[in-house]
């Protein structure tokens, strides 16, 4: 049974698996996934103007169809952070520096003993 399940999960693209996990972990007001449907497969390095125009049309159609979700994402991204979120972000940004200072102070304290 385990091998069957493993084989099944190995066939799922990584992006789908990550999306499923994030969707389960975060609330809908925090995690957004946008995956517009394209009318044609277009390479990332495409330079044909007709295909790029088609890509723009697909994007405009997606925006029209998903205004509410896009608005919610924009609102979530521009929402002012609460104090505890700002403290958390500060520690996240400075954790390596703090860990280095703590480690150096610990070494100096041991030397004094």
| DSSP line for 83-95 | HHHHHHHHHHHHH
My answer on whether 53 and 23 are in the same domain is no
Residue 51 corresponds to which tokens in the numbers above? 């295909």
Tokens 């044909």 correspond to 48
**Same domain, residue pair 70 and 99:** no
Task: For residue 73, count CB atoms less than 10 angstroms from its CB and return exposed for 0-12, middle for 13-18, buried for 19 or more.
Answer: middle
Q: What is the DSSP-derived secondary structure letter of residue 80?
A: P
> 50: domain range?
37-79
Is 25 in the same domain as 42?
Answer: no
Residues 60 and 88 in one domain: no
Do 59 and 93 reside in the same domain of the chain?
A: no
pLDDT (0 to 100) of residue 110:
55
Q: What is the mean pLDDT of the chain?
A: 79
Q: How many domains does the chain have?
A: 3
In this prediction, residue 12 carries a pLDDT of 58
pLDDT, tens digit (0-9, with 9 covering 90-100), for 8-41: 555 556 677 777 777 777 777 778 888 888 888 8
**pLDDT given at position 19:** 72
Give the residue carrying structure tokens 């995690």. 31
Are residues 93 and 66 part of one domain?
no
Same domain for 42 and 72, yes or no, is yes
Instruction: At 5, list the tokens.
Output: 């399940």
Same domain, 75 and 41: yes
User: Tokens standing for 107?
Assistant: 């070494």
Residues 74 and 88 occupy one common structural domain? no
3-state DSSP assignment of residue 46:
coil
């Amino acid at each position: 049974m385990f091998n069957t399940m493993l084989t099944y999960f190995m066939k799922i693209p990584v992006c789908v698996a990550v999306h499923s996990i994030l969707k389960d972990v975060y609330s809908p007001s925090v995690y957004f996934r946008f995956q517009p449907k394209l009318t044609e497969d277009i390479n990332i390095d495409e330079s044909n103007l007709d295909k790029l125009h088609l890509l723009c049309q697909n994007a405009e159609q997606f925006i029209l169809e998903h205004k509410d979700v896009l608005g919610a994402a924009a609102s979530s991204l521009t929402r002012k952070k609460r104090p505890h979120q700002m403290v958390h972000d500060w520690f996240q940004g400075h954790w390596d520096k703090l860990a280095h200072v703590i480690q150096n102070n610990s070494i100096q304290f041991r030397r004094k003993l």
